[in-house]
Amino acid sequence: MSWLMLVLSGVLESVWATALGRSAGLSRLGPSVVFVVALAASMAGLAYALRELPTGTAYAVWVGIGAALTVLIGMVTGAEPVSALRLLLVAGIVGCVIGLKALH
């Protein structure tokens, strides 16, 4: 259950990061509300996962999932450029996250 919660929290990290970017410095209400709710839920999920998982591993997985998804969202929406090298580097992040899970 801790791993599932950690993955969901990592997904929520990408939600709050994307919402923060769209909030124009927290001046737009909709994205600001999404940011606050997703941030709180993401942190709560990470805290839950840390009850059973080592902090370093859990944090690296949480950040890795959030970072990879945030970059992919940016690419899909056109906010960030798409290139083979960028996709390869994101795949490297995903591979490292999978590796950390496999070693646990």
CB 23 within 8 A of CB 31: yes
- How does the average pLDDT of the chain come out, rounded? 97
pTM of the model: 0.92
| pLDDT the model gives residue 78 | 96
Rounded to whole angstroms, what are the CA distances from 31 to 4, 14, 25, 53, 55? Answer: 26, 13, 10, 31, 30
| pLDDT the model gives residue 62 | 97
Residues of the chain scoring pLDDT < 70: none
| pLDDT the model gives residue 97 | 94
DSSP type of residue 26:
T
What span, in angstroms and rounded, lies between the C-alpha atoms of 101 and 5? Answer: 13
| pLDDT the model gives residue 63 | 97
